[in-house]
Amino acid sequence: MALSLQSRRVGNIAVVTCRGRIVEGAEAATLREHLDALLPQDPCIILDLGEVQFIDSSGLGLLIRFLTRTQTAGGNLALCAVPASIRRVLKMTHLRTIFGSHASQAEAISTFYTRATPAGALSRFNTDILCVERSANVQAYVRELLGQWGYGVITAGSLSDALILLKVTAPKVVVVSAELRLIADTPAGDIFDGLADALSVIELPAGFSYRDAGEAGHQLLEKVRAAMGDRDGPPASTQ
């Protein structure tokens, strides 16, 4: 079975779900290229191996190489949902202890935020604001816009991922799309509302992504500064 990979970003962590075999040849090359593309921006990586049927020596060597590379970049590489067959391989090779291995994605994500990580990685997890928005482009815009003004911003693309981050970080403000804020009658929605309502919540209005970027960003920054209690107020409008 050819290796397929699906990535998403949860806060400052890249979560990669792997399906198939991690073996010498095209499969290992696919994983290497995928991780190569992630590493410059996301040195904190979780590999979900729950649907990986087999890993050979070359594939395991690739994981070790990227473990070293992520740590050198100030991050880490963790594994989760490791099948019994691969756990047996790690035990036999005495490599089980070098990888952080977790039962689920949620556990692995939480560990990044609650344990000390390699030198240089802690600043990546400073959290003032949690932004919850399905669009990766809007996530990137909000993250960089507010980051330029000195705020620590983490992002999530779903309420379930946001719940994990809310529980393990201490954001002062939650920025959430109006679309996701309206989701009700689901366990994740109910719990998210309960936790978020104890914080300052700013809704991204419907159509935020289609508005003039300067005007939309200025208005969001104004709301964030008010919620954070910053005295200087927002920068003067350029209009």
The residue among 67, 89, 121 that closes a domain is 121
- The answer to whether residue 237 sits within a structural domain is no
SS3 215: helix
- pLDDT of 237 higher than 50: no
pLDDT category of residue 20 using cuts at 50, 70 and 90: very high
- pLDDT of 222 higher than 90: yes
91, 63: one domain: yes
User: In this structure, are strands 13-22 and 4-10 parallel, antiparallel, or unpaired?
Assistant: antiparallel
Q: How far is CA 50 from the centre of its chain?
A: 19
Count of domains forming the chain: 2
130, 115: one domain: no
Q: State both tokens at 97.
A: 């202890």
Q: Is this prediction's pTM over 0.85?
A: no
Q: What is the CATH number of the domain that holds 178?
A: 3.40.50.2300
Measured CA to CA, the distance from residue 38 to residue 47 in angstroms comes to 12
The residue among 121, 155, 177 that closes a domain is 121
- pLDDT of 234 higher than 80: no
Range of the domain at 162: 126-228
Specify the pLDDT at position 229: 85
- Per-residue pLDDT of 181-192, as tens digits, reads 776 556 767 777
74: left (phi over 0), alpha (psi -120 to 50) or beta: left
- Per-residue pLDDT of 155-194, as tens digits, reads 999 888 988 998 888 899 999 988 887 765 567 677 777 7
More confident residue, 31 or 235: 31
- Per-residue pLDDT of 91-128, as tens digits, reads 888 888 898 889 999 999 999 888 744 444 445 567 89
Measured CA to CA, the distance from residue 182 to residue 34 in angstroms comes to 34
Q: What angle do CA 76, 80, 82 make, to 5 degrees?
A: 125
150, 112: one domain: no
62, 154: one domain: no
218: Cβ contacts below 8 Å, ≥ 6 apart: 234, 235, 237, 238
Contact in structure between 124 and 135 (CB atoms under 8 Å): no
